[in-house]
Each structure stands twice: as C-alpha cells, then as structure tokens.
Amino acid sequence: MSSLLETFRDEGLELIQELEAALLELEETPEDSTLIDRVFRALHTLKGSGGLAGFDNVAGFCHEAETVFEIVRAGERQVDQALVSLTLRAQDHLKGMILHEFGDEAVDAEVTVELVAAFQALVPYQQNPLETDHEEAEGRHDGQATYRIRFRPNPSLFRQGVQPQFLLGELALLGDSVVVAQLDNVPALNEIDPEECLVYWDILLTTDYDEDAIRDVFIFVEDDCKLTVQKIDDGSQLDQPEDYKRLGEILVERGDLTESDLGKYLQEKRRLGEALVAEGAVNDSKIKAALFEQERVQKLRKERKTHDAMESIRVKSDRLDKLVNLVGEMVTVQARLSQLASSRVDADLLGISEEVERLTWDLRDQVLNIRMLPIGGTFTRFKRLVRDLGTELEKDVVLITEGGGTELDKTVIDQLNDPLVHLVRNSIGHGIESPEVRNAIGKPRKGCITLSAKHTGANVVLTIADDGAGLDVARIRAKAVEKGLVSAQAELSERELFNLIFEPGFTTAEEVSSVSGRGVGMDVVRQAVDALRGSIEVRSEAGKGTAFALKLPLTLAIIDGLLIDIAAENYIMPLSAVEECIELTRNDTEKSHGRNLVKVRGEIVPFVRLRDEFSFNGRCPEIEQVVIANLEGVRIGFVVDHVVGEHQTVIKNLGRMYQDIDGISGATILGDGRVALVLDLQKLAEKAEIKENSKFT
Amino acid sequence: MSKRVMTVDDSATVRQVLQMTLEGAGYEVLQAVDGVDALRKLASESVDMLVTDLNMPNMDGITLIKEVRQDPGNRFMPIVMLTTESQPEKKQEGKSAGASGWIVKPFKPEQLLAVVRMVCPV
C-alpha cells in the first residue's frame, strides 16, 4: 500500500483536475446545476480528505470556497465570471499547497490570505455554524454521584441497526451499574413481533461522570427513545440524611405509581411491595428496580458516614489553637537556628539545622491541615435561609451548592458566615426577580443561586452567583453622585462602578425592607473579607445575573511572606499578592518627572513609595526595588530599598493599641529576634490613592 | 471470527484512513467507492457493518442506506454515516433512512473506533 500522503496527493491532484474541468464548463453554462454540484463535490471531498491526511491548510482553504458554492447550490447566488476566475485561481493555489509537501516551493501566504478574504466577502452572513468541536472534554463530575436512568427505546430501534445491549455495555463502562429490564410492554407470545424492541430498561449508575456523559452514550438514539436521567444522590454533598426515600416515594418519583394509589395501598396491612404486586398495581420488576435504588443509596450514604466517623475524633478547638501557636513559635525558633547555622562554618550544625527545618515545615503543614474543615457545613445552613427568605419575599429560588468538600481554616469559615448571609440576602432581595417578572422576560420561573467553592493555589475562591437582573450600572452611578461618593463628571470603569456598592451607606433599593436596602451590609462584607486578608470581586451582566467572588487565604496563622527592607527596617508582604520584583534606578525616577509610574513590559503601573509613605528621611539607595502586587485585579508597585527573600511568616496580632493602624495587619518575629511588621497592601494602596486624588483636586 | 466492515467513500484518502484504523483494531475491511459499487459488492458478500460517506457520485449515501435496508438480510445491520455536514437535518435525513449513527469528518482514529465499537464491538 502506498503511504497515506501519496494517496492523498494522487487523489488531490485528480480532484483539482476535475475542479478545473467543471469550472471551465461552468463558465460556458453558469446555470447548470450538475456542474455546480461537481464543483461543490470536488471541493468538499478535497476538504474531507485533506483534513484526514493532515493537510489542515488545504482543508481550511477548501472550506472557504465550499461555503460559497454551498450558497450557489442552494440557489441563493448566481455563478458569474468573477466567481469562476476566483475559484480557478484558488484551484492553482491548492495545487501548490499540496505539492509543497512533496518538495515544491511554498505558496505565497499573502495570496492565501487574499483568496480566503475574497471568498469570505461573498458569504453574506455566517453561513456555517461553528465547526463541531471534536476535542470534547471528558465530562468528569466533581465526586461520585448516583443516577436513575430509564431508557425506553421506540419499538423500531432494531431496524435502526442499534443493539441496546451495546449501549448498556457502554454505560456500564462509566461506573457501577445495575440494570433491570422492564417487560410490561411485551405482549403474549402469539402477538409478539420479534422485530420490535418492546423491552425497556431501568438503570442505576454510580459514576464519576456527569449527566452529559451519560446522555452522550445515547446520542445516536436520542430521538428514537424516551430517556430520563435523574440524579438521586450526590457524593459531594455531605448533609444528606442517612436514610433514603421509602419505596412508595421512589415509585411515585419514577412515575410507576400515582400519589393517590400510594395512599390507598399504604392503608392496607400488608407490606407495600407485596400489596402492590398482589393487586397488580405495579409489577415485580419495577419494585425490584426501586428496591435496588433504595438499597444502593442507603449503602452509599452509610459508607460515607462511617468513613467520616471512623477517621475523626472530636477535639476542643482551643487545643488546636494552642497547637498552632506552638508550631508558630517553633517556626520562629527554627528560623533563628537556620540563621545561626548558616553564619557558622560547622557542617554538623548545618545538617541538623536543615533537618529541623524540613521537619518543622512538615509539622506546620500537618497542624494547619487539622484545622481545615469542609465548607459544606456552612453551605447547608443556607438552604434554610434561602427557603425562608424566598417565601417571605414571594420569590421562587433554588440554591445550588458546589464544591462543598473544599476545605478552609476553621477560623476563616467561622468568620465567613456573616458576609455570606449578607450576600445571599442581597441576591434574593435585589438580584432575583419575582416569578411574574421572570416569566414575562422568558426566564425560568425559579431563580437560581449558586454557592460554590474551589481551590486556586494558596487561596480558596467562594462564589455567590445569581441569575437575576444584574447590577444596574446607571442607578449605582446616580446614587453614588447623589451621596457625593463620586463627581457627576467622573469617568469610571464598570469595575470601579461595581466597587462603589461596597462604600458605607450605599444602597439603590427604593424601600427599606428587612432583607435589604439599609445600605449596611456590603461595606460590612468588604470589611469582613479584608479582615480575613481576602479580596472580593464583582461580575455582573444586566439581565443575566451577578456573581461575587471571594478570594480567601487557606489559613490565617502562618503565611508565605516576602521579606523586604526600607531604611534598615524589615517588613513582610503577603507573597500571594506579589507578582514580580523589578529594579528602579534613580535615572528612571528622574525621567518620570515626579509621577509615580513605571513601565513593566509595556504596561504602565503606578507605584507607591513606601519610604515616603512611612516618612523615612535619608537617602534612598541608588537602585531601588519595585514589588509589583496584584490587588483585586489591579497592578500596583511598592518601592522598597531591598527585597530580602521569602519568609515563613507566623502572624502575631499587634494588640488592641495598634490594631487599627491602616496599612499594617500584624507583626512577626524574624530569625534574629527582631520584629517585622506585616503590610496590608490593599490599605496602603487605598491610602496612597486618596492622597494622590487630593493632590489634584 | 473477526467482524467485517464495508467502507464506502469516493475519496481514496478517506478509504485508506478507514482501512488502516479499522484493521488496526481487528476488523476486516471491504472497500467500495460509491453507492452503486457498495450495492454490487453487498449482493455477493456479507458484512457485519457498513460505514458510508453521504456525498458521493453515482449514488449518494442516503440512497445507499435506504437500498441496503430494503434487503431483509441487512435490516438490522449497524450503519454509520460519515459526514462533514454537521447540520442536524442531514443527520436526521440519514437516521430516517435507517442509519444507526454518524461520525463527523475529519475524525481522529480513536473517535472512529469509539463509534464503531459502540454499534458493532469486535
């Protein structure tokens, strides 16, 4: 067999010849639909074969020409001299593209672009929808879930050449499945048509894949069957009761029994299953399927519960706090040991010091891990809140939670409760429209609030999203002007406008209700998140909804810090906010004419001189360092004398006297016993901004 | 005994890719260049499955599928259509004619095999 490339070359050149012949004839008789078909088919085949043989350029190029001829074929465009000439040029070009692979000179890329543009100009609008994406992501679900599937094919299924057992086999590959065949549609033997598929199936599937992956198995028969897929147990939710539904409930949910019949049979003294079968209300195999489901879910939930119980013991949280404090002390002492060891020429001491360092870090990670709790418990409490508020405000709202297994430090979780309550209240109060309004604008009656948590690096991002009306930018602006927060002429980006809602006393609600409108809340949310050294970001689209993303550190006690110094004093910056460090020479400073701006790879970044901020006198070094930090999506530089390096920072509170100093969030003890202050970069940036603004107004 | 697949496509490149992929996975492959050729060969050969292009000269894929389904011996044979037209109406037309499934060109070998295995495992 010749190689695939050679096969394609031979076929391609043949097709190009065919294309040329058809085009030349078409020039004579432009109305001839057989000729138009020939041109189209040649291009079409060339595209398909080119794609398969790895000639993506040929395939892509043919696609443009093919699109035009598809329009011609549909009678929406006439063939004219110009089109024939253009396609003839394209045909020569295609030949060059193919032969280039076999040693000929490459085609002129500019000509490719020109021809493609010429074809595209002939397409009145986007003719072809997006090409189907073949790189479908594996539909993995976060954690294991159990689905109840009923696959009820049309009787004609066999005549479609489809064998249901292969589909069920395919489904079984996704996870642990139980299949029960339902035979109640199968008639008496003398009435059976063996060519018809009269059986249908109930399947119970426990899988890591999501619902789309399950539906994909049935993609070829989706129009020829009734398929129901219902999630009946979600492994990532921790709050489910251990017992599952009763048999009667399951049968009603499955549509195998009506509610009123259930009531009737429950009054009998016999067991429900027996009564139903004896009376012929529900047949045996349906009960079997329902019992399988009941048993499976009960088993799964029990397993999860014992799994949790077996591996945990209850410890008072203050004991854990003490342990964390001790580890903190130890990290500090270890830093001293490391510093001492590195200053002496003693290999043994250095060896021991490194060993202690490694163990301390391990110990630190383990101890901090103990304090980690899944956020799911907090999420569960919101179900009730959403339900109650929904009733109170006459709104139909459903709460969806995702990532309940994500773990956060206990202290962080405890302090998160209030801000989350505020945000969820706001979503229901301001965001979600009333069912009537939603109906009128074509949204589903039920509003939806999603609470989700996920890890990103050293942070956890909590998102509270609703599918409500979105923030009203114009109203926020008007209100902000009215309150004197911004001037009427101020040019504000969408982001800056959104951030105004966090200003104290800000509200756009016309009436005060018990839920929202007092304007206390959003600023409290901001404060609480700040206190947790987190940040908050708002995304909103009018009519589509609003999302608040809270980015929070995994832990509060010990952080990775960047040690810097200014005028021989040490400070710590949280490393999670730092993007990079660059140099700033005196020359740079002079060139910038007193404006605090620095160019970082083409982007202008404003900076704050911490020397000025802290009112240090004395000369700054010839070459200073700018630490570029990313604060809620905005890049800001902080000018320091030196960047010393990374430092494991055990954060100590400053005590009541000093805790309200803006810009300082705590302190830590360095290896040599000195104290370094931990900087709150967000606050420092805000202070600098205020100063900067007042300079110009 | 290995399963026998007939592949129908007017493009030699597509036929070669189909043959290499299917033979590699343990299928036996019989080739045809268009609908007419396929029907002629099906009259004397028996196959377990048909993979056919839709857009072909002489006899297109849809007509071929309808013709094949006329033969009582092939009424339940899996038929997969190959198409670059990902428009639903084309798929629907093929399904009404009696196709079991479809593969959108250009495809990767593993995508072809996933579909073929689903309707006709080795």
Residue A459 has pLDDT above 90, yes or no: no
- pLDDT tens for A580-599 read 999 888 777 777 666 788 88
Question: Which of A106-110, A231-235, A556-560 is predicted least confidently?
Answer: A556-560
> Right CATH number for B4-119 from 1.10.260.40, 3.30.930.10, 3.40.50.2300, 1.10.645.10?
3.40.50.2300
* pLDDT confidence bin for A480, thresholds 50/70/90: confident
CA atoms of A480 and A497, how far apart (whole Å)? 9
pLDDT for the residue numbered B87? 62
- pLDDT tens for A570-581 read 999 988 889 999
CA atoms of A659 and A649, how far apart (whole Å)? 18
pLDDT for the residue numbered A473? 83
Q: How far is A16 from chain B (nearest CA, A)?
A: 13
pLDDT for the residue numbered A547? 92
Instruction: Give the helix/strand (H/E) hosting A455.
Output: strand A447-456
Instruction: Give the residue numbers in A contacting B (CB under 8 Å), as ranges.
Output: 1, 4, 7-8, 10-12, 41, 44-45, 47-53, 59, 129, 131-132, 134, 158-163, 166-167, 169-170, 195, 217, 219-220, 223-224
Who wins on pLDDT, A512 or A626? Answer: A626
ipTM confidence? 0.79
Residue A204 has pLDDT above 50, yes or no: yes
Q: Cis bond leading into B106, ω under 30°?
A: yes
* Nearest beta carbon to residue A51 from set B12, B98, B106: B106
Q: Give the best residue of B5, B8, B11, B53 to mutate against chain A (max A CB count within 10 A).
A: B11
What is the average pLDDT across A364-377? 82
Residue A339 has pLDDT above 90, yes or no: no
- How big is the A-B interface in CB pairs under 8 Å? 97
Query: What is the DSSP secondary structure assignment for residue A189, as one 8-state letter?
Result: G
What is the average pLDDT across B36-53? 92
Contacts of A382 (CB under 8 A, 6+ apart): A399, A401, A420, A421, A424, A451
What residues of A are in contact with residue B53 (Cβ under 8 Å)? 48
Per the CB < 8 Å rule, is B79 touching A220? Answer: no
Q: Give the best residue of B3, B6, B13 to mutate against chain A (max A CB count within 10 A).
A: B13
Per the CB < 8 Å rule, is B105 touching A163? Answer: no
* Nearest beta carbon to residue A11 from set B11, B100, B108: B11
Who wins on pLDDT, A693 or A315? Answer: A315
Per the CB < 8 Å rule, is B76 touching A161? Answer: yes
The CA–CA distances, whole Å, from A197 to A153, A185, A232, B65, B94 equal: 7, 10, 28, 21, 21
Per the CB < 8 Å rule, is B111 touching A195? Answer: no
Report the b/e string of B69-84 with b at 16+ CB within 10 A: beeeebebbbbbbbbb
pLDDT for the residue numbered A694? 55
Per the CB < 8 Å rule, is B98 touching A7? Answer: no
Per the CB < 8 Å rule, is B55 touching A4? Answer: no
- pLDDT tens for A277-329 read 887 788 888 888 888 888 888 888 888 777 766 666 778 878 888 888 888 88
Per the CB < 8 Å rule, is A134 touching B118? Answer: no
Residue A162 has pLDDT above 80, yes or no: yes
Domain ranges in chain B are 4-119
DSSP A295-329: HHHHHHHHHHHHHHHHT-----HHHHHHHHHHHHH
What is the average pLDDT across B42-66? 90
* pLDDT confidence bin for A1, thresholds 50/70/90: low
Per the CB < 8 Å rule, is B16 touching A7? Answer: yes
